[in-house]
């Protein structure tokens, strides 16, 4: 039977490990500070930001939520970022994406001071990732590596396939797997013979945003499968088809009106893999956990407390 890689358990472990580090900072200097800029009223972003604020509070960190209107201009948002760059008590700055269409997202992300870029998106930090220099790493990819290591899943010398080439997940995950000495192939929507390539993977990671798109024919028997996708099913027939008429999932759909599923067929993954991340409860919880790690590490570097 396949092993379930429990992201909630690993998240809780990381949070407990951070508490003494935060306490040491508080005794010597001050607690770490995270500033989150949330533009407008995107419901999904608001939920995500609330989770970040809640986690900061649980850990005893300072947090600040800045909420400019969705009519803000690029220049006005740049001014907010520059003010946060100057504030000594702010160790981490996160501008929640997506931004309104009139805002130049690249200019905003590049304006964040690299040492405060706890999302790991600044070109300087991306360059550090490519060259193996210590710097903030993108949170979701860092969480994937953390899951593999804490479940003692070998990476060294293994064949890894990353399906998805986004700057936020696909590319940095591939780079981090290479730094752990895996042999990595990156696939995407234009890849030919995708299934045959995926079947070569000892570690198969998928982040394409298409519900249950990859089925059992893409999975090498005994592979470790990392499903980064989080897709909401709002059609009961889709839930019935994907979850093979599961009474539990159908009952959940009837209660909530939706059910979450990853980018891989959940039944096939459980049957063919040796270990896998469920959706929800797999990779997702690690994203905020690694954001907290990046913020604490930023505070330690800036305050000279290690």
What pairing do the DSSP bridges indicate for beta strands 159-163 and 203-206? parallel
Tokens of 116: 């405060």
* Residue 83 bears catalytic tag: no
Q: Which member of 91, 117, 119, 227 is catalytic? A: 119
Q: Which member of 52, 116, 158, 220 is catalytic? A: 52
* Residue 119 bears catalytic tag: yes
Q: Which member of 96, 117, 171, 272 is catalytic? A: 96
3-state secondary structure the chain: CCEECCHHHHHHHHHHHHHHHHHHHHHHCCCCEEEEECCCCCHHHHHHHHHHHHHHHHHCCEEEEECCCCCCCHHHHHHHHHHHHHCCCCCEEEECCCCCCCCCHHHHHHHCCHHHECCCCCHHHHHHHHHCCCCCCCHHHHHHHHHHHHCCCCCCCCEEEEECCCCCCHHHHHHHHHHCCCEEEEECCCCCCHHHHHCCCCEEEECCCCCCCECHHHCCCCCEEEECCCEEECCHHHHHHHCCCCHHHHHHHHHHCCEEECCECHHHHHHHCCEECCCCCCCHHHHHHHHHHHHHHHHHHHHCCC
Which amino acids are annotated catalytic? 52, 96, 119
């Amino acid at each position: 039977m396949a092993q379930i890689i429990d992201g909630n358990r690993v998240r809780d472990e990381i949070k407990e490990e951070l508490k003494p580090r935060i306490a040491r900072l508080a005794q010597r200097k001050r607690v770490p500070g995270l500033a989150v800029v949330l533009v407008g009223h995107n419901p999904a972003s608001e939920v995500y930001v609330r989770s970040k604020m809640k986690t900061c509070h649980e850990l005893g960190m300072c947090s600040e939520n800045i909420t400019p209107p969705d009519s803000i201009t690029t220049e006005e948002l740049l001014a907010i970022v520059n003010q946060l760059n100057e504030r000594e008590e702010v160790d981490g700055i996160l501008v929640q994406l997506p931004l309104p269409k009139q805002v130049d997202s690249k200019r905003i992300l590049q304006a964040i001071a690299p040492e405060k870029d706890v999302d790991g998106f600044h070109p300087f930090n991306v360059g550090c990732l490519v060259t193996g220099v210590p710097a903030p790493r993108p949170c979701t990819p860092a969480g994937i590596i953390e899951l593999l290591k804490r479940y003692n899943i070998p990476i060294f010398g293994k064949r890894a396939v990353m399906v998805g080439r986004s700057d936020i997940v696909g590319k940095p995950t591939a780079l981090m797997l290479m730094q752990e000495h895996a042999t990595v192939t990156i696939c995407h929507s234009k890849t030919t013979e995708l299934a045959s390539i995926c079947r070569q993977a000892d570690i198969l990671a998928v982040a394409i945003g298409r519900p249950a798109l990859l089925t059992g024919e893409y999975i090498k028997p005994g592979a470790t499968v990392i499903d980064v996708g989080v897709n909401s099913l709002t059609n009961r027939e889709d839930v019935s088809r994907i979850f093979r008429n599961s009474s539990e999932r159908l009952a959940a759909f009837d209660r909530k009106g939706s059910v979450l599923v990853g980018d891989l067929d959940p039944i096939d993954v459980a049957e063919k893999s040796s270990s896998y991340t469920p959706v929800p409860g797999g990779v997702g919880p690690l994203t905020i956990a690694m954001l907290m790690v990046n913020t604490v590490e930023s505070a330690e570097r800036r305050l000279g407390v290690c």
